[in-house]
């Protein structure tokens, strides 16, 4: 999965615990494969968490699609929001890397999508806020690097929400 | 003198315990507390460099960091740990001579606290701590987004605040 957060005391200097993708992915793959000797630790996940990660990937996929829909409906929004859309895609890429078994077929279960208002910007903002809330809530059910990733993405989307206001 | 960002905590983390352990969580909370101390101090400098009318968000941000600082200190005390104190002095990462400098410092402070709270998420054992951490990281990033335009920082938003680039 994606890189871990950098220990604050080392930020900008040396990444003391900059474990790469395998640190989180290997325990996950072991669970998926039915292995019983997956190494314990904060980055290990249960089968239920695998499903939950798939849901968060689906939430993010829907957000990326919502950006495309909004840009089609409001080209002026595209001019201002391309960077936001690129960041949403980057978040999706990192989520997928954290959940390598996910195929993208999951359906978000955390409530229905916000109702459309006919205002592309307002609709997009509602989608961003809903995705942020979904990731923030899901973050609480994880530990280790995945909790950090979900929480960080939630924070990033809160920032986007403010930009779209 | 200690730089206000990143976290001024000097805790050696090589023996903080495995991520997800109570010991690691406590160590990460100490780092977050140190970052909040630095933010409270730093916003004093930010406010001093801004005109009165521009200080409203400074007051609000400083109050938020003070509240969080006190909350974390109480959590640490309740579990028998000695909360890290504020430093006697901090070293500014750059001279703050203008409103733009002040906004840059505010961005630096918010990004420092975001990193500290995302680190808490990585290390946390308890759900309640993760609740505090994700709320704090979100709030800090929202404030950072509000300061970056004034600081001339682009892009204004970040995909994964508190995490190293992919």
Chain segment B18-46, per-residue pLDDT in tens: 888 899 999 999 999 999 999 999 999 99
Residues 7 through 66 of chain B touching chain A, CB cutoff 8 Å: 7, 9-11, 13-14, 18-20, 31-32, 34-35
A11 and chain B: CB distance < 8 Å anywhere? yes
Question: Which residues 12-41 on chain A approach chain B with CB closer than 8 angstroms?
Answer: 12, 15-18, 41
| DSSP code per residue over chain B | -B-SSS-------TTS-STTSHHHHHHHHHHHHHHHHHHHHHHHHHHHTS-GGG-HHHHHHHHHHHHHHHHHHHHHHHTT--PPPPPS-B--SS---SHHHHHHHHHHHHHHHHHHHHHHHHH--SHHHHHHHHHHHHHHHHHHHHHHHHHT-SSSS-SSTTS---
Alpha-carbon gap, residue B5 to B114, rounded angstroms: 11
From CA B133, how far away is CA B1, in angstroms rounded?
27
How many angstroms separate the CA atoms of A59 and B121, rounded? 21
Please give the residue that has the higher pLDDT: either A133 or A49.
A133
Asked if A8's CB is within 8 angstroms of B35's CB, the reply is: yes
Return d(Cα B161, Cα A130) in angstroms, integer: 18
The residue to which tokens 């409001």 are assigned: A74
Contacts of B51 by beta carbon, 8 Å cutoff, 6+ apart: B99
Residue percentage of chain A with pLDDT more than 70: 67
Query: Is A64 an interface residue toward B (CB < 8 Å)?
Result: no
- Tell me the C-alpha distance between A125 and A12, whole Å: 32
Q: Is A132 exposed, middle or buried (0-12, 13-18, 19+ CB in 10 A)?
A: buried
CB of A102 within 8 Å of a chain B CB? The answer is: no
| Residues 6+ positions from B84 with CB-CB distance below 8 Å | B9, B11, B30, B33, B34, B37
CATH class given for the domain over A46-164: mainly alpha
pLDDT tens by residue, B94-139: 999 999 999 999 999 999 999 999 999 999 999 999 999 999 999 9
Q: What percent of chain B lies above the pLDDT cut of 90?
A: 82
Contacts of B76 (CB under 8 A, 6+ apart): B26, B29, B30, B33, B82, B83
- Residue with structure tokens 């920082």? B153
């995302």: which residue's tokens?
A: B118
Identify the pLDDT of residue A13: 28
How confident is residue A163, by pLDDT bands cut at 50, 70 and 90?
A: very high
pLDDT > 80? residue B74 = yes
For B:110-129, CB contacts with A below 8 A are 112, 114-119, 121-125, 127
Cα distance between the two ends of chain A: 32
In whole numbers, what is the pLDDT of chain B averaged over residues? 91
Please enumerate in sequence order all residues whose Cβ is within 8 A of that of A92, keeping only pairs 6 or more positions apart, or say none.
Answer: A57, A60, A61, A63, A64
Q: Calculate the average pLDDT of chain A.
A: 77
How far apart are alpha carbons A68 and A57 in whole angstroms?
A: 17
Task: Give A-chain residues touching B118 at CB under 8 angstroms.
Answer: 5, 148, 151-152, 155
Q: Which residue do the tokens 């409530």 mark?
A: A111
Confidence band, pLDDT 50/70/90 cuts, at residue A49 = confident
- Res A111: pLDDT: 56
Contact between chains at B142 and A42 (C-beta distance less than 8 A): no
Tell me the chain B residues in contact with residue A88 when contact means C-beta distances shorter than 8 Å. 159
Q: Identify whether the C-beta of residue B45 lies closer than 8 Å to the C-beta of residue B92.
A: yes
Q: Which domains does chain B have, with CATH numbers?
A: 22-151 (1.20.1260.10)
Q: Do B35 and A154 touch (CB under 8 A)?
A: no
Contacts of B127 in chain A (CB under 8 A): 140
pLDDT at position A48 is 79
Backbone angles phi, psi at B71, to 5 degrees: -65, -45
Tokens of B119: 């680190």
Cα–Cα distance between B7 and A51 in angstroms, integer? 35
Q: Of the candidates B90, B106, B99, which has an alpha carbon nearest to the alpha carbon of residue B58?
A: B106
Share of chain B above pLDDT 70, in %: 90
pLDDT at A158: 98
Of B127, B142, B159, the CB nearest to A90: B159
Of these ranges, A69-73, A78-82, B9-13, the one predicted with the greatest mean pLDDT is A69-73
CA B49 – CA B72 distance, rounded (Å) = 28
A3 touches chain B (CB under 8 A): yes
- For residue A158, which residues of chain B lie inside 8 Å, CB to CB? 138-139, 141-142
pLDDT for the residue numbered B11: 41
Domain spans of chain A? 46-164
Cα torsion B119, A101, A133, A71 to 10°: value is 110
Q: Taking CB atoms and an 8 Å limit, are A15 and B157 in contact across chains?
A: no
Residue of chain B with shortest Cα separation from A157: B159
């Amino acid at each position: 999965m994606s890189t871990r957060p950098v220990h604050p005391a080392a930020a900008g200097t040396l990444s003391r615990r900059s474990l790469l993708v395998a640190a989180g992915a290997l325990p996950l793959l072991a669970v998926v494969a039915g292995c019983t000797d997956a190494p314990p630790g904060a980055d290990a996940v249960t089968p239920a968490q695998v499903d939950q990660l798939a849901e968060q990937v689906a939430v993010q996929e829907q957000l990326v699609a919502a950006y495309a829909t909004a840009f089609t409906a409001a080209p002026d929004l595209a001019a201002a929001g391309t960077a936001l859309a690129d960041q949403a895609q980057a978040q999706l890429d990192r989520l997928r890397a954290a959940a390598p078994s996910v195929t993208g077929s999951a359906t978000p279960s955390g409530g229905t999508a916000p109702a459309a208002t006919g205002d592309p910007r307002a609709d997009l903002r509602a989608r961003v806020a809903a995705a942020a809330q979904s990731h923030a809530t899901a973050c609480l059910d994880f530990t280790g690097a995945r909790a950090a990733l979900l929480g960080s993405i939630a924070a990033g989307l809160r920032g986007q929400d403010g930009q779209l206001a | 003198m200690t730089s206000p960002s990143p976290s001024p905590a000097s805790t050696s983390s090589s023996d903080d315990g495995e991520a997800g352990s109570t010991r690691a969580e406590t160590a990460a909370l100490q780092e977050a507390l140190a970052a909040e101390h630095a933010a409270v101090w730093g916003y004093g400098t930010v406010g001093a460099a801004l005109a009165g009318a521009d200080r409203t968000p400074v007051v609000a941000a400083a109050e938020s960091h003070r509240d969080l600082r006190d909350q974390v200190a109480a959590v640490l005390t309740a579990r028998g740990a000695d909360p890290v104190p504020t430093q006697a002095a901090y070293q500014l990462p750059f001279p703050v001579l203008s409103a733009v400098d002040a906004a840059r410092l505010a961005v630096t402070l918010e990004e420092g606290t975001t990193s500290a709270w995302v680190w808490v998420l990585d290390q946390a054992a308890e759900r309640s701590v993760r609740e505090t951490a994700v709320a704090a990281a979100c709030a800090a990033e929202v404030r950072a987004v509000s300061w970056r335009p004034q600081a001339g920082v682009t892009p204004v938003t970040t995909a994964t605040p508190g995490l190293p680039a992919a």
